[in-house]
Amino acid sequence: MQNLTTKAAKEYILNEYGYLKHDIKKLIKATRSTAKKYNCNPLKMFFFMIENRPIKGIHTHSYGFNTSLGREIKETFKNNYYE
């Protein structure tokens, strides 16, 4: 996946996990707004939220666990998703 689009994200999730649990439009909107707040690429934010991949340049993980900043990003994402 090169760019974060609704179609690409939906296809990725369906190919990797077989089903979609969440509203894909809200998921993408929350991903983009959270990425903007933390000055990050939306695609990297998407993979951080979906697969818990570390984001280079942002200290999101330490020894495989989320740091306080990583947990803050996840909480911000959750608030953006449900607003």
Look up tokens 């998407």; give the residue.
Answer: 46
User: Residue 33: what pLDDT?
Assistant: 97
Report the distance separating Cα 17 and Cα 19, nearest Å: 6
Report the distance separating Cα 28 and Cα 10, nearest Å: 10
Instruction: Indicate whether this model's pTM tops 0.75.
Output: yes
Residue-wise pLDDT for 31-77, tens only, equals: 999 999 999 999 999 999 999 999 999 999 999 899 999 999 999 99
pLDDT band at 2 (very low <50, low <70, confident <90, very high): confident
pLDDT over 90 at 1, yes or no: no
